């Protein structure tokens, strides 16, 4: 069953922006690359730190703590010291808002 929850106005997330939000008890990091939205766990797999103040470099989410990186299309770690992937959540833009589905069964790798 789909359980998308609105998390932000779509206008608040421009190309290459990164925002974090708490939705349904989960903390997520959301970005937009090539016009496509991506939502992933807001917990770096290296040191369990949030991605607050993270930046984007192409499709890579750059962790501000130790410069680990993740491909937002797959969740895979792309730069040491990050090694393990982070999970992704379904995300969509509709009615001018960004919606994320954090129902446990929707959680996926990347």
Buried/exposed 23-44: b ≥16 CB within 10 Å, e otherwise: beebebbbbbbeeebbbbbbbb
Using CB under 6 A, pick the residue from 3, 27, 49, 74 that binds ligand FES.
49
CB 77 within 8 A of CB 85: yes
Residues 55-84 that bind ligand FES (CB under 6 A): 63, 65-66, 68, 81-82
Q: Quick one: 8 or 43, whose CB is closer to ligand FES?
A: 43
Closest contact distance (angstroms) between CB of 22 and ligand FES is: 19
Count CB neighbours of 46 within 10 A: 19
| The 3-state secondary structure of 74-102, one letter per residue | CCCEEECCCCCCCEEECEEEECCEEEEEC
9-48 residues in contact with ligand FES (CB under 6 A) are 44, 46-47
Count of chain residues binding ligand FES (CB under 6 A)? 10
| Nearer of residues 68 and 85 to ligand FES, judged by Cβ | 68
* SS3 of residue 44 by DSSP: coil
Residue ranges that bind ligand FES, judged by CB under 6 A = 44, 46-47, 49, 63, 65-66, 68, 81-82
């Amino acid at each position: 069953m789909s359980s998308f929850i609105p998390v932000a106005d779509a206008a608040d997330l421009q190309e290459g922006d990164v925002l974090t939000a708490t939705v349904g008890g989960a903390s997520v990091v959301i970005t937009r690359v090539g016009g496509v939205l991506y939502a992933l766990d807001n917990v770096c797999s290296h040191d369990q730190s949030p991605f607050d103040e993270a930046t984007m470099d192409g499709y890579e989410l750059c962790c501000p703590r130790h410069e680990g990186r993740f491909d937002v299309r797959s969740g895979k770690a792309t730069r040491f010291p990050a090694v393990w992937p982070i999970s992704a959540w379904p995300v969509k833009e509709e009615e001018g808002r960004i919606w994320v589905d954090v129902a446990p069964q929707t959680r996926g790798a990347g």
